[in-house]
A = this chain, B = another copy of it.
Amino acid sequence: MDIATLVGVISALGLVVTAILLGGGSFNAFVDIPSFLVVIGGAIAAVMVAFPLKNFLSVFGVSKKVFLNKVENIPALIETIVSLAETARRDGLLALESKIEDVENSFIVLGIQMAVDGTRPEVIEDVMRTELDAVATRHRDGKSIFDQLGRFAPAFGMIGTLMGLIIMLGDMDPETIGKGMAVALITTLYGAIVSNVIFLPFAEKLGFLNKQELLAMEIIVRGIMGIQSGDNPRVIEQKLNTFIPPKMRASEQEAA
């Protein structure tokens, strides 16, 4: 659970509400359902046109990821790979079959399964790299949806404000002109808030999570290839450790 995401979203919205109340505004003056429809509905509609349906529907899963933020523990991952390498070295590749039941990471399982089945090394690497590339593409597309939502929401905010101004100006009644303009500006406000509190920061965070996840997958591919070719577990550990800074290494002494 990434507490920072939740704290950030809630405190940004809290600040906005506090500022309204401190500024002497009534909260009701800031609630306008049609404005909300234009901004959120418009941004979603534009993204529906811009992305294939499958990608568009993935947005909910991706949002959950931003909140859960379950980052792979890379030192633990290396430890797992090294322990599998030790088993393979001691008891042969086939002995891994019984051990993979305890491994949670499905990408390790995929690789070990192929190694146990005697798949040729080039094919193992090809299959794993294709999966890695597919994940990278899925990530990029997921981030891209939030980037586009963050771009279309203010655009529809402006569209809404223009519509409000045109309605107001077409019927200039000195008594209501202020209120009309206030309502017109609400869509621009909504667009700016959802874009800057939610869509754009989410896109940034996804970029970070994706880099972390791809690093873990890269380490797994290298580890599986080492296990498959029967490398010494110590050598595998040394090689994988170079992916992480010295402080985070499980067994720096042996590596050095």
- Chain A contacts to B: CB under 8 angstroms: 2-5, 7-9, 11-12, 15-16, 18-20, 22-26, 29-30, 33-35, 37-38, 41-42, 45-53, 55-56, 66, 69, 71, 110, 113-114, 117, 119, 123, 126-127, 129-131, 134, 148, 152, 155-156, 158-160, 162-167, 169-172, 177-179, 181-183, 185-186, 188-189, 192-193, 195-198, 200-202, 204-205, 208, 238-239, 241-246, 255-256
Contacts and interface: CB of A to CB of B under 8 A. Distances in A.
Contacts of A130: 241-246
Given A4-B52, A8-B46, A12-B49, A242 B126 contact: yes
Given A3-B53, A12-B45, A204-B51, A131 B162 contact: no
A47 B9 CA distance: 10
A126 to B, nearest CB: 4
9 contacts: A2-B52, A11-B48, A15-B38, A18-B34, A23-B164, A29-B167, A42-B196, A47-B201, A130-B246
Given A2-B52, A4-B49, A185 B166 contact: yes
A48 B7 contact: yes
Given A18-B34, A45-B9, A169 B197 contact: no
Name which of A46, A49, A156 has the most chain B CB atoms within 10 A of its CB.
Answer: A49
A242 B192 CA distance: 43
A25 B117 CA distance: 69
B29 A15 contact: no
A84 to B, nearest CB: 19
Nearest to A5: B49
A162 B18 contact: no
A197 B3 contact: no
Given A2-B52, A41-B15, A48-B8, A163 B189 contact: yes
A240 to B, nearest CB: 11
A189 B205 contact: no
A52 B72 CA distance: 13
Contact of A24 (B2, B123, B155, B167): B167
A159 B56 contact: no
B185 A165 contact: yes
Given A127-B242, A131-B246, A192-B162, A19 B48 contact: no
